[in-house]
Structure 1
Amino acid sequence: MKKTLTAITLVSSMMLSLLSSAKAEVVELDKVAAIVNSGVVLESEVKDLLDNIKGNAERNNQALPSDRALRTQVMDKLINDSLMLQMGERMGVQISDAQLDETINNMARENKLTLSQFREALVAEGVNYEKYRENIRTELISGEVRRANVRRRVYISPQEVANLLDEMKAQTNQDIEYNLGHILIEFPPEPNQQDMNDAKTRADKVIELLNNGSDFAKIAIASSGDANALEGGELGYRNINELPTLFSELVDGKAKGEIFGPIRTGLGFSIVKILDIRGRQTVEIEEVQARHILIKPSIILSEAKAEETLQGFLDQINAGEADFADLAKEHSEGPTSVRGGDLGWADPKSYDPAFRDALARLSIDEYHKPFRSSFGWHLVQLTGRRMLDATDQMNENRAYQLLFNRKFGTESARWIKETRDEAYIEIFEQETN
Structure 2
Amino acid sequence: MKLVATTARLSTASSTFDVEFKARLHWSAEADAAIEQRVADILADVRQRGDAAVLDYTARFDGLSAKTVGELELTQAELKAAFEAIPAAQREALQAAAQRVRSYHEAQKKASGESWSYRDQDGTLLGQKVTPLDRVGIYVPGGKAAYPSSVLMNAIPAHVAGVGEIIMVVPTPKGEKNALVLAAAYVAGVTRAFTVGGAQAVAALAYGTQTIPAVDKITGPGNAYVAAAKRRVFGTVGIDMIAGPSEILVLADGTTPPDWVAMDLFSQAEHDELAQSILLCPDLAYIDQVQASIDRLLNEMPRAEIIAKSLNGRGALIHTRSMEEACAISNRIAPEHLEVSSRDAHRWEPLLKHAGAIFLGAYTSESLGDYCAGPNHVLPTSGTARFSSPLGVYDFQKRSSLIEVSEAGAQVLGPIAAELAYGEGLQAHARAAEMRLKGVKS
Q: TM-score range by the shorter chain?
A: under 0.3
The TM-score normalised by the length of structure 1 is 0.23
With the length of structure 2 as denominator, give the TM-score of the two structures.
0.23
